Amino acid sequence: MIKKTAAELGTLIANREVSAVEVAREHLDRIAAVDDRVHAFLHVDTEGALAAAEAVDAKIAAGEKLGPLAGVPIAVKDVLATRGVPTTAGSKILEGWRPPYDATLVERLRAAGTVMLGKTNMDEFAMGSSTEYSAYGPTFNPWDLARIPGGSGGGSAAALAAYEAPLSIGTDTGGSIRQPGAVTGTVGAKPTYGGTSRYGLLAFSSSLDTPGPCARTVEDTALLHAVIAGHDQRDSTSIDAPVPDVVGAARLGATGDLTGVKVGLVREFSGEGAEPGVMSAFRETVEALTKLGAEVVEVSCPHFLYALPAYYLIAPSECSSNLARYDGVRFGLRVGDDGNRSLEEVMSATREAGFGPEVKRRIIIGTYALSSGYYDAYYGQAQKVRTLITRDFTAAFEQVDVLVSPTTPFVAFELGSRTSDPYQMYLADLFTIPTNLYGGPAISVPCGLSEGLPVGFQVMAPILGDDRMYRVAAAVESAVGTFAPPAL
Ligand code: GLN
């Protein structure tokens, strides 16, 4: 049962061929069997999962008509607030915190009858590309346990690849849904910014943070997208517009017909800095798209190569402000409060002990970039680059329906191989970050293997054009198939 898709499980449960409790138990057993090796989870909520599954079974027995994902297990990135269930964002500073409320996204998951198995591991406060910056130890890639599962949402991706859950939730600020998807051979979508609610998402970079769906197939990803997306008045940047028909688009794409679809290759992403094996899997997939009827043209986006440096000023700037709230007064950890120390001393000791080195680095960079005298030269300049990148996208989407690229320049790398040089870690985001700065949707879908490890294909679409990216991603999947890791 653990290898079934979410769509299949939902149907079996709705038809009472299997109970939601049985499905939940099988996945909990799988977690018990493999998670000591994978470490996808920071917290497994056995009781909560079984109670949720029982509730679904009771409703079905009573003849209630539920949605397509009712009873289907899901894993949630530990950066979303879950009422009464520990939420750490991968940081020591929040160790032991049990939020008094659910994120909007989590509320919607519960309302749809999905069964939350637990919370997944991540780089601290979603800063990283390998999950090695989790304060609770790394997650291991099910394809090769000596390699990283991507980040920051490595736990959410590894849980899928290890068959611990058929669905998971990630968040994407610079690529944290798509890059883990790529290196674990799973699917991950970053919706249009504002298309999914940030209420209850522990903020990293508020103008970029976007929660989104992850699964092993494009259709499952779209089904989950449909459950979590849509306007939320508790998030001031939430878009008040109908959610595009992502499920319909995924099913259309699965027919393998792309006649009339115009696909753009980004000229500036010629492959420099990317592994040859990644580029060849990417090019073969582009070839496959032309066979499905797509018209492929080259498009120039001259500012895309400046996206990485602009992001690494904007995201730290916003994080330096957002993370100021962890002061030892209201949340989680408090250090050195012996009654003799000043408030400032306690705050300083708490932040020194509670944050890891990468988070501190970002707070320092961001504080510097925002400081008077340097604001215009760094933060202000980066914002101008962001505008130019948005213009590149706008101009590109006047010529093509979607843009495509590899998701990340390299396949899963070995644990420890990039931690000594932050810049090497940041390079994982080369192809994913432009979309975040623009705000449009993008998806990663597996497109092949390079030296036995999965390669991701990225489809980027215009703002609120989420349906288009699902159509093309499903066509890719129909052409190249899905990829399973060696048995664990
Ligand atoms: N790797 C990027 C970073 O470290 C992406 C993070 C994200 O999308 N949350 O900032």
pLDDT of residue 382: 98
Ligand 1 near 128 CB (within 6 A): yes
Residue whose CA lies nearest to ligand 1 atom number 10: 127
pLDDT tens per residue, range 209-243: 999 999 999 999 999 999 999 999 999 999 999 99
pLDDT of residue 430: 96
Share of the chain above pLDDT 90, in %: 98
CA of 130 to the centre of ligand 1 (A): 10
The identity of residue 12, as a single letter, is: L
pLDDT of residue 330: 83
- Enter the tokens of residue 180: 């883990």
pLDDT of residue 270: 87
Ligand 1 near 173 CB (within 6 A): yes
CA of 178 to the centre of ligand 1 (A): 10
CA of 126 to the centre of ligand 1 (A): 6
Q: Between 7 and 331, where is the model more confident?
A: 7
Q: Whole-angstrom Cα distance, residue 105 to residue 198? A: 8
The identity of residue 57, as a single letter, is: D
pLDDT of residue 158: 98
Query: Quick one: which atom of ligand 1 is closest to the CA of 312?
Result: 10
For residue 82, give the DSSP letter: B
CA of 425 to the centre of ligand 1 (A): 10
- Enter the tokens of residue 201: 């998402």
Contact 335, 328 (CB under 8 A): yes
CATH number listed for the domain at residues 6-255? 3.90.1300.10
Q: Whole-angstrom Cα distance, residue 268 to residue 303? A: 9
pLDDT tens per residue, range 292-331: 999 999 999 999 999 999 999 999 999 999 999 999 988 7
Ligand 1 near 131 CB (within 6 A): no
Q: Whole-angstrom Cα distance, residue 175 to residue 408? A: 9
Q: What share of the chain is helix, strand, coil (3-state, %, to 5)?
A: 45, 15, 40
pLDDT tens per residue, range 92-136: 999 999 999 999 999 999 999 999 999 999 999 999 999 999 999
Substitution site in 156, 173, 319, 413 for ligand 1 pocket (most atoms within 8 Å of beta carbon): 173
Contact 103, 201 (CB under 8 A): yes
Q: How many CB atoms lie within 10 A of CB 398?
A: 9
> pLDDT category, 346, cuts 50, 70, 90?
very high
> pLDDT category, 457, cuts 50, 70, 90?
very high
pLDDT of residue 332: 85
Ligand 1 near 175 CB (within 6 A): yes
Report whether pLDDT(279) > 90.
yes
On the CB side of 136, CA atoms within 13 Å amount to 28
pLDDT of residue 272: 87
* DSSP letters for 307-346: HHHHHHHHHHHHHHHHGGG-SSSSSS-----SSSS-HHHH
- Enter the tokens of residue 61: 């027995």
Residues 6+ apart with CB under 8 A from 69: 6, 10, 112, 113, 114, 167, 223, 224, 227
CA of 439 to the centre of ligand 1 (A): 15
Substitution site in 313, 429, 431, 433 for ligand 1 pocket (most atoms within 8 Å of beta carbon): 429
Q: Whole-angstrom Cα distance, residue 324 to residue 32? A: 37
pLDDT of residue 459: 98
Q: Of 405, 410, 404, which Cα lies nearest the Cα of 130?
A: 410
CA of 132 to the centre of ligand 1 (A): 12
Q: Which long-range contacts (CB under 8 A, 24 or more apart) does 345-353 make?
A: 350/93, 350/326, 351/93, 351/326, 351/327, 353/92
Q: Of 169, 168, 220, which Cα lies nearest the Cα of 197?
A: 169
Mean pLDDT, the chain, rounded, equals 97
Q: Whole-angstrom Cα distance, residue 321 to residue 297? A: 42
* Strand, helix or coil for residue 482: coil
Contact 269, 403 (CB under 8 A): no
User: Which residues form the catalytic set?
Assistant: 77, 152, 176
Ligand 1 near 126 CB (within 6 A): yes
CA of 444 to the centre of ligand 1 (A): 15
Query: Quick one: which atom of ligand 1 is closest to the CA of 208?
Result: 8
Contact 253, 470 (CB under 8 A): yes
Query: Quick one: which atom of ligand 1 is closest to the CA of 177?
Result: 8
Substitution site in 131, 156, 176 for ligand 1 pocket (most atoms within 8 Å of beta carbon): 176
Substitution site in 80, 131, 152 for ligand 1 pocket (most atoms within 8 Å of beta carbon): 152
Q: Whole-angstrom Cα distance, residue 472 to residue 404? A: 10
Query: Quick one: which atom of ligand 1 is closest to the CA of 176?
Result: 8
Domain ranges of the chain: 6-255
Ligand 1 near 174 CB (within 6 A): yes
pLDDT of residue 318: 98
Q: Of 311, 315, 308, which Cα lies nearest the Cα of 269?
A: 308
Report whether pLDDT(34) > 90.
yes
Ligand 1 near 176 CB (within 6 A): yes
CA of 315 to the centre of ligand 1 (A): 9
Q: How many helices (H) and strands (E) does the chain have?
A: 16, 11
